[in-house]
Structure 1
């Protein structure tokens, strides 16, 4: 794993009726990491903390090797592009090009040619008032504005919210091209399974304010499987199976449906137990997330 783009150590934030953390997390630079979790799990709060828009009660954070919350972080923030889940209502009276004229002065690497190219690809007219733009057009404008200064790190909170299928495919291509340079990093919160599949190298599960796991995406999707096993006349303690998550008999019979997060070792264990594996299939990302949620809630 490369150097850390994001490093969080012992971070907590306490609010009425919700606590985020404690979180210890290292996100590598040069990759796309997706933060996945249900609504209200703390994903947006985490982004605000990383940008020093909110303060933690304890712990420390670093972005691109620099501490978050230092007295002068102008140079650090000039290396970051951030797109919040919701636009700022106070900007609704501004035209897109008025916001651009204000924002660009903060970024020494501002690239007007890249900005205009992104607007063209996304079919956005910056002369329109931000409050008059549709949700999808506002999203495309914000993405163009955020990427025009060649940031080293993108923090994207539900980036495809409001995008139609064509704009979504354009966004995927734009982000792939952004990553081609090799030393850039994207951290995104997303609930779109296909978006995570296409973009992410790593996945972080966040549930109820806690990080429940950091995984390499392909390893995760290959390891989590549901297996159908014939166990006639045999008493099996399924919890001994490597990676065991859940087991249930099908219609009360001798065939069992068992979920494991370590498919390779589970198959070896089945062979040792002389149990017949009838079939198996990989779990989808949303199914894996559901298992994490139910485990956190004590359901499984």
Structure 2
């Protein structure tokens, strides 16, 4: 990702927030313009908190948040909020009694770029009847309606918190296609969270891993999935000590004799290493997103324990 502010849709700079049972940060993270970035991680990682900071619904105790070249909370945020669409993970209870078309009418007063034709087109594509109170809709129907409401003013920045929650497979496919069309404009940005591996693989350009209020890593999606592999290797006299020197090694497990199962984050270099060392690659397998997340969490836990041990030895 580029370091230039003009190339970033969102910049989190040294943000921290401390609560009785949770600490967020410090986090410095850039979300590039014109791309889809997915934040993945366990529940309670701080993903939704970042979204609320973008909207100034929560404030960091330290650091700053810049959105579309505007520092949030530094003055009038209304112009930049006009350019943001937001789909929260949980529906708003105070909207339960109003009908969907009434919510749309309210949005049309707030968003200068509200496009009623676009809104109706989205409803049609998602097969939604907006003449029902939002609170009377099924979870999936309400999710589709709120998705249309978030997208109808063609925002420059779209925040999607678990967008497919409650959607059936057909609705999920329609949403994916709509988001691809939305991004065809070229300079729009999506920041999303999702627990659905296939959703991240279908949509994201960049993936941010978070856990316990911290960023564990930021990766370009194609590079991530082409780099993280499990290797099954064997070699005459091959030891665990030698196997552990494989480039990008994230875990070594003996599978009997002189054979090992190794997880690596540098598949290409690991291939070359095996050739140079005269080691036979029995097979190799690409890691799925949840497996990469699990490995990063394990590495992070080991790193923290080492750091704490060094601190205690001083």
Q: What residue number does 2:221 align with?
A: 217
Q: What residue number does 1:130 align with?
A: 134
Matches within 5 A, 1:105-254: 105-235=109-239, 236-250=241-255, 252-254=256-258
Q: Is the 8 A contact 1:96 1:130 kept in 2?
A: yes
Where structure 1 has 5 or more consecutive residues not aligned to the other structure, the ranges are: none
Alignment RMSD (CA, Å): 1.4
- Report how far residue 47 of structure 1 moved: 0.6
SS in 1 for 2:302: coil
- TM-score (normalised: structure 2): 0.92
- Report how far residue 240 of structure 1 moved: 2.2
Q: Is the 8 A contact 1:156 1:188 kept in 2?
A: yes
Equivalents in 2 of 1:217, 1:294: separation in Å?
Answer: 21
Where structure 2 has 5 or more consecutive residues not aligned to the other structure, the ranges are: 306-314
- Report how far residue 28 of structure 1 moved: 0.7
- Report how far residue 298 of structure 1 moved: 2.8
Q: Is the 8 A contact 1:231 1:256 kept in 2?
A: no
Task: Provide the aligned length of Structure 1 versus Structure 2.
Answer: 299
- Report how far residue 270 of structure 1 moved: 1.9
Q: Could you tell which deviates more after superposition, 69-78 or 79-88?
A: 69-78
- TM-score (normalised: structure 1): 0.97
Equivalents in 1 of 2:108, 2:216: separation in Å?
Answer: 38
The Cα offsets for residues 214-265 of structure 1, whole Å up to 9 and x where unpaired, read as 1000000000000001033233333322111001011x43210000000111
Richer in helix (by share): 2
Q: Is the 8 A contact 1:30 1:184 kept in 2?
A: yes
Q: What residue number does 1:283 align with?
A: 287
- Report how far residue 275 of structure 1 moved: 1.4
Equivalents in 2 of 1:287, 1:229: separation in Å?
Answer: 19
The Cα offsets for residues 269-291 of structure 1, whole Å up to 9 and x where unpaired, read as 22222211111111111111111
Q: What residue number does 2:271 align with?
A: 267
SS in 2 for 1:234: coil
Q: Is the 8 A contact 1:207 1:296 kept in 2?
A: no
Q: Is the 8 A contact 2:39 2:194 kept in 1?
A: yes
Q: What residue number does 1:255 align with?
A: 259
The Cα offsets for residues 12-63 of structure 1, whole Å up to 9 and x where unpaired, read as 1111111111101111100101101111111111111111100111001111
